[in-house]
Amino acid sequence: DVFTRRPVLRWIGNSAMVVAGSTIISLTIATLAGYSLSRFHTPAQRVAGATLLLSKMLPGSLIVIPFFVMFTTLHLIDNLAGLVIANIAVGVPFATWMMKGFFDTLPRELEQAAKIDGCTDMQALWYIVLPLARPGLAACGIYLAIVAWSEFVFARTLVTKPDNWLVTVGLQSFVGEYLVEWPALMAAGVVSLIPMLVLFLLLEPFLVSGMTSGAVKQ
């Protein structure tokens, strides 16, 4: 009944596209920024890190109006690309500090050994650091995906066309002024949880491998 009365699958598809785009871009930016904050300790780095941390303290309701003004000027209202940009702005600050914490646990001697063998800085990051940081990447990816999937303020304000709604906004359509369609709302809510459960099951082996790595010495 839910699928016939509402375009739930379309809403889930819109959310999936926004989550995929924002998670991939945010994780890339957070990984490079977190690695920079972990390995370089200049005054500029400390100021950048503090700025990222302070920006995370701003509530979404405070920055949604500037986003709306900017996106109206850039013609990004009712555009999923605008939601991707908004989610990146919200997710990157905390994700950067998450990745910095993981990189701080990795000894720098591994990168120095790679450089002695002829690797550049980027090659050492790609071939040595990132494989060891897979648990951190998985945890950070899950965090970014959940934040983007459950986001409501930007999705409700920056998108008005029902065909472009995300699943969080679509669920609100089951709540009327005088009546709440509880059976349909609960059914749609359960369906909306499935993608995140699948994502967690796919990334869970990386989290487990990270917790158990180093437990057995050869």
Residue 129 class from Cβ within 10 Å (0-12 exposed, 13-18 middle, 19+ buried)? buried
At 55, the pLDDT band (50, 70, 90 cuts) reads confident
Q: Which residue has the tokens 């800085």?
A: 121
Diameter of the chain measured on Cα atoms: 71
CA distance 31 to 114: 19
Token pair 């990132």: residue: 130
Helices H / strands E in the chain, number of each: 12, 0
Strand partners, 180: 175
pTM for this predicted structure: 0.88
pLDDT band at 43 (very low <50, low <70, confident <90, very high): confident
Backbone angles phi, psi at 64, to 5 degrees: -70, -30
Answer yes or no: is pLDDT of 10 > 90: yes
What pLDDT, in 10s, does the model give residues 116-144? 888 888 899 998 899 888 888 998 999 99
Q: What is the pLDDT of residue 167?
A: 93
Specify the pLDDT at position 218: 39
Q: Say whether pLDDT at 21 is over 80.
A: yes
